[in-house]
Structure 1
Amino acid sequence: MAESTVFVTVGTTKFDLLIKTLCQPEVLSLLEYMKYTRILMQIGKGEYIPKIEDKKIGITLEYYTLKKSIAADMQQASLVISHAGAGSIFESLNAKKQLLVVVNEMLMDNHQLELAQHLAKEGYLIYTTCEYLKETLAGIDFSNLKPYVPGNPKGITDYLDKQFGFK
C-alpha cells in the first residue's frame, strides 16, 4: 500500500496548539480512518514535542523544527495542514496541494484570518480553527476547490511604473 502523507507546517512561528490538537488520539484515529499512513510535522519554534500516546493508532508520526526548504516535504504530501501564514499558504497552493488552513486565534490583529477567509471564499482552500479541526476533517470535501493560478504581476508593475513616472 502506498504511503499517504499529511504534511503539517507552522512556518517559523510557534503554534503548539495546532500540533497538540493534531496529536489527540481522536484526530489521529480520524486521519488513519481517512487512509493517511504518515504525518510529517514542521513544528517551527514550538516547544511541544509531537507524539502518539495511543499505541493502537497505526499511523507514523515524524517531526522537525526548521529546515531551509519544506518544498520536498510539501510535494510528497497528499494533504497539507498549514497555519495561516501567507508564505505557507501560497507555497501549498502553488504546489497544487489539498490545503486545510488552521487559523491561530491567539494572534492579535489577525490578518491571517482575513487571508484564509478570502482564499476560502475564492474557492482555493478550506480553513478552520484548532477548536473545530476534528469536525472539519470529518466533513472535509476538497472536490469543490479550484486550482490556484498565480496572478500576473504585469498589471501591478504597470501601475507602479505609472505612479512613479517610469512610463
Structure 2
Amino acid sequence: MANKPQKVCFVTIGATAPFDTLLSNVLDSDFLEALKTHEYTKLLIQYGKEGRAIFDTFIQNAPPESPARYGLVIQGFGFRQEGLLQEMRSTQSNKALDTVEGMILSHAGSGSIMEALRIGVPLVVVPNPALQGNHQEELAKEIENNGWAVAGQLNRLADSVQKAESLRSLSRIWPPKDSVGSRHKRGLAGVVEDELGFLD
C-alpha cells in the first residue's frame, strides 16, 4: 500500500508576545483529531520564545507511536532569524515532494498574516485575547469578512480545520467570474503580491 501524500499544518505562535493558550490548543486532542480527519500527516509548530516547555511536555507524554498523536508527525522549534517562509511553503502542493496543499494557522500579527497570504493556502488567524485592545480580533474578523482567511477561536480550533477546508474549496473559484485581467491569474496570492509590491 502506497504512502499517502504529505499534508502539512504549519502553526506560528509568534516570536515576541507569548501565546501559550494557542500552543496548548493546537496540541489538544480535538484539534489533532480534526487534522487526522482531514488527512493531515504533519503538524509543524513555531512555538515562540516561551512555549518550549509546553511543547516538550507534550512530546514526552506522547511519544511518536502514541495514539495521542493521531498518526501525525509533530515537530516544533522556537525562533528562526531568517523568518518562516520555508516553513510556510511546506504547506503548498508540490508533486516532486509528494505533498498536497495544507494550511497555515497563525497568531493575528499583521506581518505573519501578510506573509501567510502570499503563500496562497488556507489560513486560520487566531487573535490573542491577552493583548491590550482588540485590534487583533478586528483584523481577524475583517480578513474573514473579505473571504481571505478564517478567524479562529481559542477552544474551538477543531472547527477551524473544517472551515479552512471549505475556504480551500472557495478559493478554487476565486476571483469572481466577472473580474478581468491577468493580474488575478494567481488568485488571492497574486493580488496580495501586486498590492504590496512583492517580487520573487
Do the structures match in fold with TM over 0.5?
yes
Counterpart of 1:60, as a letter, is V
> Per-residue deviation at 1:137?
2.4
1:159 is aligned to: none
Gap regions ≥5 residues in structure 2: 92-101, 175-187
Counterpart check, 1:144 vs 2:170 = yes
Counterpart of 1:43, as a letter, is Y
Change (3 A) 1:92 1:15: same
2:96 is aligned to: none
Change (3 A) 1:15 1:124: same
1:9 is aligned to: 12
Counterpart of 1:87, as a letter, is G
2:41 is aligned to: 37
How far does the alpha carbon of each residue in 1:112-139 deviate from its partner, in whole angstroms, 9 at most, with x for none? 1111111111110011211221233245
1:26 is aligned to: 30
2:105 is aligned to: 81
Change (3 A) 1:39 1:152: closer
Change (3 A) 1:153 1:91: closer
1:62 is aligned to: 75
Q: Which of 92, 95, 115 is the equivalent residue of 2:119? A: 95
Counterpart check, 1:123 vs 2:147 = yes
The answer as to whether partners of 1:104 and 1:129 remain within 8 angstroms in 2 is: no
Q: Distance in 2 between matches of 1:36 and 1:115?
A: 27
Q: Distance in 2 between matches of 1:95 and 1:139?
A: 18
Larger Rg: 1
How far does the alpha carbon of each residue in 1:90-118 deviate from its partner, in whole angstroms, 9 at most, with x for none? 00001112101111122211211111111
Q: Distance in 2 between matches of 1:90 and 1:119?
A: 11
TM-score (norm 2): 0.70
1:157 is aligned to: none
Name whichever of 49-58 and 66-75 sits farther off: 49-58
Change (3 A) 1:153 1:66: closer
Q: Distance in 1 between matches of 2:132 and 2:5?
A: 41
TM-score (norm 1): 0.83
Q: Distance in 2 between matches of 1:152 and 1:92?
A: 15
Q: Distance in 2 between matches of 1:152 and 1:87?
A: 15
Gap regions ≥5 residues in structure 1: 155-167
Counterpart of 1:34, as a letter, is H
1:108 is aligned to: 132
Q: Distance in 1 between matches of 2:153 and 2:163?
A: 14
RMSD after superposition: 1.9
> Per-residue deviation at 1:153?
6.3
Change (3 A) 1:3 1:121: same
